[in-house]
Structure 1
């Protein structure tokens, strides 16, 4: 029987303070997690089906082509800790080869996990499942019954790219410290490639990614009781070669003043709100980041074009 543990409880006041703090910075900024309200999550699912958005299908192809090699490298029968599990589909795809003894899907809300986990339990009745509602980007502890030995942290989707490199190192260091020296990490990362390919992946011809980004303003209106006019803004996304990252922004089409309960901000024409970064790595650069975080790369797999990489790493004992 699946167990559900909810440790994260949204603090509306803290969320409001965080958003207002970012919006009032000289360069306005919001965390990418606020892109994923109910509509934003559905729009991102649509993005994953777009021809320009290669990461989802490329990662799936790597897992399909190398499933047996991946299982041989990471070991079968592990405790599979799925970070940002969502609908659990990526982990479930690997269950037949990884054969986890205990599956621990983690997401910021257990409610989102319930239906998926219930279905998984029917498909894999012998598997122990503990669903955990926690903000895994902050320090957290796993339940006592999830022992430290044989943990395999699973972080697919190149989501590590949403962290700045220093923050990514700190986050992965916490994972290295959360298991024994046999602890493992199975992680995906998007690799540096031609700028036109990267630009198109985040600014598709149908405008789905633009809708996804612009929907943030609807979310801000709800949370902050603000009056952003979505029609007055446009989506801007590009690969910043110097920083090796995709940047997403919302740009004011004309000068305007946005008001919210207790305050306001004037935006000049062309002024932007920075909504997301997605860092891209070279294979050698990501191996070095793993090393700094206390992991040693064991094996990696890429697609034929070298666009995307899946890595297995083990905690080295050399903790930062």
Structure 2
């Protein structure tokens, strides 16, 4: 069975884009949230990134799931999988298959901001898993967790894969983890993907490939503003940078103006100047250590119960239980 709840309309998504762009372009220093990378072109570019030899996180996480999915499903003992930022792709199906082999899987709740994406990706899951209740939810998981169809019937696992958690700074990340805790029930599980701290040279290479795919992805946020808000950015006038912030232990993606730029965003009636060399942050990707992540989960009301890594120790999947 397939159904979809639309908690985020196109108008609401447009309002969120307007608010984020207006706030970000007038901030000091300027910054934009990474969720606006992902129009159709941005999503295609990110898929290209995941296949780059330098970009290890997707392969590492998938290798853990290929080796440990049955162990994860057994440890979680859940009848439902809720996935935030759902891809409904290979990694999701590895989990669903393992949970089905445990004999208890009854529900799958994929969550994403794009209704079109959800309809296209989640409906085939309903077709391929007869008897599975697929209840898709259109929403911004940073704002709409309280609207999730969390059931009282059986244990649930909520998955946040791909080290999505790393795109938030510590304060918002702590609030997000507490919000997840508050929508789940005692005994429910959080399956969390986390990229681990490693050689900064490898980290920078993963976010600044020599072929320029990541640079095109980074500049795509300017194209989104042009197309959806009447901006006149010249994306070619900005260089892509990937910088390791050792103090915060995260990668920062930035766009740097090659020369002085004057930009108008017609739909916001906004004019913005960039000085030559001025940088605008477009993404952070925090990297984690076991002790730090354990402390963050503990503060949010979770007990870290299992920890799996790939063979190289680059990436971790953690299973935490709601106290």
TM bucket (normalised to shorter chain) is over 0.9
> Does the CA-based 8 Å contact 2:186-2:322 persist in structure 1?
yes
RMSD over equivalenced CA pairs, Å: 1.5
* TM-score (normalizing by structure 2): 0.93
Shift in CA distance, 56/152, structure 1 to aligned 2, threshold 3 Å: same
Q: Which runs of 5+ in 1 are unaligned?
A: none
Give the equivalent residue in structure 1 for 2:59. Answer: 57
Q: Which runs of 5+ in 2 are unaligned?
A: none
Q: Quote the offset at 1:109 in angstroms.
A: 2.1
Give the equivalent residue in structure 2 for 1:5. Answer: 5
Q: Quote the offset at 1:278 in angstroms.
A: 0.6
Is 1:299 the counterpart of 2:300? The answer is no
Shift in CA distance, 101/51, structure 1 to aligned 2, threshold 3 Å: same
Q: Quote the offset at 1:255 in angstroms.
A: 1.1
Give the equivalent residue in structure 2 for 1:105. Answer: 110
Aligned length: 315
Q: Quote the offset at 1:34 in angstroms.
A: 0.8
> Does the CA-based 8 Å contact 1:58-1:308 persist in structure 2?
yes
User: Alignment partner of 1:146: what SS?
Assistant: coil
Is 1:162 the counterpart of 2:167? The answer is yes
* TM-score (normalizing by structure 1): 0.94
Q: Quote the offset at 1:145 in angstroms.
A: 7.2
Give the equivalent residue in structure 1 for 2:243. Answer: 238
Q: Deviations over 1:110-149 (max 9, x none)?
A: 2211122222122111111101111111143345573374
Measure the CA separation in 1 of the matches of 2:154 and 2:147: 12
Give the equivalent residue in structure 2 for 1:123. Answer: 128
Which one of the candidate residues 303, 306, 313 is aligned to 2:320? Answer: 313
Shift in CA distance, 84/144, structure 1 to aligned 2, threshold 3 Å: closer
Measure the CA separation in 2 of the matches of 1:272 and 1:89: 36
Superposed, which structure 2 residues align to 1:45-84 within 5 Å?
45-76=47-78, 78-84=79-85
Which stretch shows the higher mean deviation, 170-179 or 270-279? 170-179
Give the equivalent residue in structure 2 for 1:284. Answer: 291
Which one of the candidate residues 114, 120, 137 is aligned to 2:142? Answer: 137
> Does the CA-based 8 Å contact 2:305-2:321 persist in structure 1?
yes
Which stretch shows the higher mean deviation, 96-105 or 48-57? 96-105
Shift in CA distance, 84/149, structure 1 to aligned 2, threshold 3 Å: same
Give the equivalent residue in structure 2 for 1:114. Answer: 119
Q: Quote the offset at 1:75 in angstroms.
A: 1.1
Q: Deviations over 1:55-99 (max 9, x none)?
A: 0000011111122221221115x2110111034432212222112
Which stretch shows the higher mean deviation, 85-94 or 38-47? 85-94
Give the equivalent residue in structure 2 for 1:34. Answer: 36
Superposed, which structure 2 residues align to 1:267-278 within 5 Å?
267-278=274-285
Measure the CA separation in 1 of the matches of 2:284 and 2:168: 8
User: Alignment partner of 1:301: what SS?
Assistant: strand
Measure the CA separation in 2 of the matches of 1:145 and 1:285: 28
Measure the CA separation in 2 of the matches of 1:259 and 1:6: 33
Which stretch shows the higher mean deviation, 179-188 or 66-75? 66-75
> Does the CA-based 8 Å contact 1:189-1:310 persist in structure 2?
yes
Give the equivalent residue in structure 2 for 1:180. Answer: 185
Give the equivalent residue in structure 2 for 1:223. Answer: 228
